Amino acid sequence: MPHRRQVLTGMAAAPLAAISHQALSQAASAQPAWQPSHPVQCIIGFAPGGGADLIARAIIEAAQPLIPQPLVVVNRPGAGGTIAAQQVAALGAEGHTLLMGGGSESTSIPAYRTLPYDPKTSFRAVLRLMRQRMFILAKADSRWRSMAEVIAAAKVKPQAVSHGSSGIGSIYHSVFVVLEKRAGVEFLHVPYTGGAPGLQAVAAGQVDLMVASPEEFKGLADGGLLKVLACCSADRAESYPAVPTLTELGWAVEIENMKGWVMPAATPAPAIGYFHDRFRAAMARPGWQAFLERAGDTDGYLDGPGFQRAMDAVLDAITAAKG
C-alpha cells in the first residue's frame, strides 16, 4: 500500500501539471505577433523610373501607413533583374528583405542560362500585385492590319518579320520565342537595351514588332504612332477590350510580366504572413487603385502559393518552347 505522503504528492502533482501547462499556453498566446524590428529593404532589380520601380513605389506608398518600420526602396539594376535576385536569394532568415519578382528574373532568363539561384526554390512568394498584361505592337501605318497577317508573312519567308525586345532572354523576347513555337514561324530578333528604345524603333519603322505593357506604350499609341495587334494574356484586357488574345487567334501563348513580392527561401512563415496581410490590405487603398487605373491594369492578387505556381507555369512554357 503506498505511503500516505506519496499518495498526497501524486494527487497534488496532477493539478500542478495542468496549471503549469495552462500557464505556458497563456504565456505563448500572450507573445506579440511577428513584426519588423528595423527598416525593411524593398529590392528592385531595375533602374528608377522603369515599370518595376513605379509599381514598387506605388504599393510601398500605400502600404507604409500599415507597417511601423520604414520601407526602403533599393534599386539594384543589371542583367535583367538577376543581380538583385541573386543577392536576395543568398540571404538567410532575417525577414526584412523583399524582392520585386515575377518578371524576367523569375520566369524568363532562367530558361536561357544557368543562374546562381533557382527561381522555383530560392524564394518564398508573398503575394502577386499585378498581372501586368503585355501586348504585341506595330507601327501605326504598318502594312499588317492583324496578327494573322503578320504570321502569314512570317510563314512565307523566315526572319522576314523582325521584332525588338528589351534584351536576350527578357520576358518580351520570350513572348516571340513561344509564339514561334506555337505558330511554326521564325522571326528576326533585334535586342535593344530596354523596352523604351525598342518601342521608339518600332514607331520609327526600324523594326516591325515589339511587346510591351500599357504603361510603356500608351503615350505612343494614343499619339497615333503605334497600333495594338494582340494581347499576350489568357483573356482580353479591360483597357483594350477589342484587342484579341493570341490564344483566341489560334496560338496558345499566355505570358504576363507579373509583379509581386518574394522573400528569401529561409524567411520564417510569420514574416511571410505579416507582409502578405499588410500588402494585401494596401491593395485596397485609393492610391494603389488609382495607380492600377493609370496603368490600365486590374487587381492581380494571388496569394504566395498561387503566385509561385503562376511564375512556374510561365517559366515552364518558355523553357519548353526554347527547347
pLDDT at position 136: 98
Domain locations in the chain? 40-131+259-322, 135-231
Percent helix, strand and coil across the chain, each rounded to 5?
45, 20, 35
Return the closest-CA partner of residue 100 out of 43, 62, 163: 43
Please answer whether residues 97 and 43 qualify as being in contact, where contact means their C-beta atoms are separated by less than 8 angstroms.
yes
**The CATH classification of domain 135-231, taken from the options 3.40.50.10320, 1.20.1560.10, 3.40.50.720, 3.40.190.10:** 3.40.190.10
pTM: 0.86
40-44 β-sheet, strand order: 71-75, 40-44, 97-101, 259-264, 123-130, 299-303
Give the DSSP letter string of 244-274.
PBTTTTT--------EEEEEETT--HHHHHH
Residues in the chain: 323
> The cell 527561381 sits on which residue?
119
pLDDT at position 22: 55
pLDDT at position 31: 57
pLDDT at position 87: 97
pLDDT below 70 — which residues of the chain?
Answer: 1-31
- DSSP-assigned letter for residue 110: G
Take residue 244 and report the three cell numbers written for it.
484579341
Q: For 40-131+259-322, CATH number?
A: 3.40.190.150
Q: How many helices (H) and strands (E) does the chain have?
A: 11, 11
CA separation for the pair 98, 125 (Å, rounded): 10
- Asked whether this chain's domains 40-131+259-322 and 135-231 adopt the same fold, the reply is yes
pLDDT at position 323: 81
CA separation for the pair 187, 185 (Å, rounded): 7
pLDDT at position 226: 98
- What is the per-residue pLDDT across 216-253, written as a single tens digit (0 to 9) for each? 899 999 999 999 999 999 999 999 999 999 999 999 99
pLDDT at position 24: 39
- What is the per-residue pLDDT across 57-88, written as a single tens digit (0 to 9) for each? 999 999 999 999 999 999 999 899 999 999 99
What's the 3-state SS for 31-100?
A: CCCCCCCCCEEEEECCCCCCHHHHHHHHHHHHHHHHCCCCEEEEECCCHHHHHHHHHHHCCCCCCCEEEE
